[in-house]
């Protein structure tokens, strides 16, 4: 497996596991509708979106590597902010 | 799969679930087994006619109990049914387990220990008090809550296993435990 295929698999994994955890988080939020659980669900949705957007962008669009890196960093910064709020804010 | 085969599979699953977890309420059965409402009603009606399962309105929920528990050699006594039904509900179960493990304590500590609001705790404590399961003693700063009969809770916890956590329950507990 070359580096391109590995990268593809890694972003596929992020999208799939992010979506699975987002589904569990949404089910948890429906059972206990708190702001914390909504934030956790949002964070996992961001993971899934990052996997899809960056993964697809890497292989099909005309975006440069630096654009994709910025996009990926944007997703990560957003989901870290959401995770921070979900775990530390009362 | 032919409908009759599917129905008998549901019947077997449902009956063994009720025998294993007596006092479970119907909405929880549907949620845990993913059984369609019509199928659940049909089988519970049939089990009732055959004397296998009884349904009782307990603590605001319709709960299912096996008509005969082999270890007891008969039906579960009424006071135990009531307590079992409460032990199948998340917040009452948390309250009862906390009082059983840690003993009597002030209601304000209880709310933070089990991770619920004071209003929610008050609502469930009233229900548990009306059922005669918990007692409130004292007033003001010396107010405490305790189990009316810890031995009964102990016996039921040993005899009947709690409902297993599903992934969503585990997920909720994990994020709930992160509360600073």
CA dist A49 and A68 (Å) reads: 13
Exposed/middle/buried for residue A44 (C-beta within 10 Å: 0-12, 13-18, 19+): buried
- B172, A88: Cβ pair inside 8 Å? no
User: Per the structure block, which two tokens stand in for A36?
Assistant: 């914390």
| Local confidence band at B66 (pLDDT 50, 70, 90 cut-offs) | very high
Task: State how far the Cα of A35 lies from the Cα of A41, in Å rounded to an integer.
Answer: 10
ipTM of the predicted structure? Answer: 0.78
> Edge-to-edge strands of the sheet including B24-25?
B24-25, B61-66, B53-58
Q: Could you tell me how many CB contacts below 8 A there are between chain A and chain B?
A: 23
Res B171: pLDDT? 84
Of residues A40 and B166, more confidently modeled: A40
Task: Tell the burial category of A51 from Cβ atoms under 10 Å away from its Cβ (0-12, 13-18, 19+).
Answer: buried
- Segment B42-52 shows an average pLDDT of 92
Considering chain B, what is the average pLDDT of its residues? 85
pLDDT in tens, B148-163: 999 988 888 888 888 8
Distance CA B152, CA B17 (A): 23
Query: How far is the C-alpha of A51 from the C-alpha of A15, rounded, in Å?
Result: 4
Asked whether the beta carbons of residue B175 and residue A40 sit closer than 8 angstroms, the reply is yes
User: Is pLDDT at B14 greater than 90 in this prediction?
Assistant: yes
Q: What are phi and psi of B72, to 5 degrees?
A: -90, -30
Is B176's pLDDT higher than 80?
Answer: no
The pLDDT score that the predictor gives to residue B45 is 93
Contact yes or no for B172 and A86 at CB 8 A: no
The pLDDT assigned to B179 comes to: 63
Q: How many residues does chain B have?
A: 180
Q: Which chain B residues have a beta carbon less than 8 Å from that of A23?
A: none
Taking an 8 Å cut-off on Cβ atoms, the answer to whether A25 and B171 are in contact is yes
User: Model confidence over A15-52: pLDDT tens digits?
Assistant: 999 999 999 999 888 877 778 889 999 999 999 999 99
Q: How far is A20 from chain B (nearest CA, A)?
A: 11
pLDDT band, very low/low/confident/very high, at B37 (cuts 50, 70, 90): confident
- B contact test, residue of A21, A22, A32 with most B CBs within 10 A: A32
Full set of structural domains in chain B with CATH:
1-75 (1.10.10.10), 77-180 (1.10.10.10)
Distance CA B89, CA B84 (A): 9
Burial of residue B32 (CB within 10 Å: 0-12, 13-18, 19+) is middle
Q: pTM (2 decimals)?
A: 0.62
Whole-number pLDDT of residue A29: 84
Q: Which residues of B131-154 are buried (b: 16+ CB within 10 A; e: fewer)?
A: bebbeeeeeeeeebbebeeeeebe
Which residues from A are below 8 Å from B171, CB to CB?
24-25, 28
């Amino acid at each position: 497996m070359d580096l391109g295929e590995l990268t593809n698999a890694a972003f596929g994994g992020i999208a799939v596991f992010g979506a699975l955890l987002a589904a569990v988080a949404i089910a948890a939020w429906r059972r206990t509708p708190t702001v914390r659980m909504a934030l956790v669900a949002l964070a996992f949705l961001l993971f899934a979106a990052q996997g899809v957007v960056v993964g697809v962008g890497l292989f099909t669009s005309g975006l440069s590597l630096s654009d994709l890196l910025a996009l990926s960093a944007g997703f990560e910064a957003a989901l870290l902010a959401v995770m921070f709020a979900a775990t530390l804010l009362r | 799969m032919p409908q009759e085969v599917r129905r008998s599979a549901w019947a077997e699953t449902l009956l063994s679930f009720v025998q294993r977890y007596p006092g479970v309420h119907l909405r929880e059965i549907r949620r845990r087994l993913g059984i369609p409402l019509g199928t659940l009603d049909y089988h519970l009606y049939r089990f009732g006619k055959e004397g296998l399962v009884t349904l009782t309105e307990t603590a605001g929920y319709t709960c299912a109990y096996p008509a005969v528990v082999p270890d007891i050699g008969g039906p579960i006594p009424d006071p135990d049914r009531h307590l079992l039904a409460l032990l199948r509900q998340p917040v009452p179960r948390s309250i009862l387990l906390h009082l059983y493990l840690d003993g009597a304590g002030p209601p304000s500590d209880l709310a933070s220990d089990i991770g619920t609001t004071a209003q929610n705790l008050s609502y469930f404590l009233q229900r548990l008090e009306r059922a005669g399961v918990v007692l409130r003693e004292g007033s003001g700063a010396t107010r405490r809550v305790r189990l009316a009969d810890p031995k009964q809770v102990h016996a039921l916890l040993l005899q009947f296993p709690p409902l297993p956590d599903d992934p969503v329950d585990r997920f909720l507990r994990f994020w709930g435990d992160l509360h600073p």
